[in-house]
Amino acid sequence: MAEKDLKKLIEKALDMRNSSYAPYSHYKVGAALEASDGQIFSGCNVENSSYGATNCAERTAFFKAVSEGVHDFRRIVITGGPDDGELQYATPCGICRQVMREFCNPESFEIILAKSTEDYRVYTLAQLLPESFGPENLL
| Residues forming a β-bridge with 29 | 80
Query: Would you say 6 or 29 has its CB closer to ligand THU?
Result: 29
Helix (H) / strand (E) containing 78: strand 73-82
102 is catalytic: no
CB of 54 to ligand THU, least distance (A): 5
| Residues forming a β-bridge with 55 | 46
- Alpha-carbon distance of 133 to 124, in angstroms, equals 16
| Residues forming a β-bridge with 82 | 27
Catalytic residue among 11, 58, 110, 118: 58
> How many Cα atoms within 13 Å fall on the side-chain side of residue 24?
11
Cα–Cα separations (whole angstroms), residue 8 to 65, 117, 125:
18, 8, 21
Query: Would you say 86 or 136 has its CB closer to ligand THU?
Result: 86
Phi, psi (degrees; rounded to nearest 5) at 104: -120, 150
Interface residue with ligand THU among 9, 14, 29, 32 (CB under 6 A) is 29
Q: Which stretch binds ligand THU (CB under 6 A): 55-63, 65-73, 103-111, 127-135?
A: 55-63
Interface residue with ligand THU among 7, 11, 19, 25 (CB under 6 A) is 25
**Does the footprint of ligand THU cover residue 45 (CB under 6 A)?**
yes
What is the set of active-site residues? 58
The site for ligand THU (CB under 6 A) is made up of 22, 25, 27, 29, 45, 47, 54, 56-58, 92-93, 96
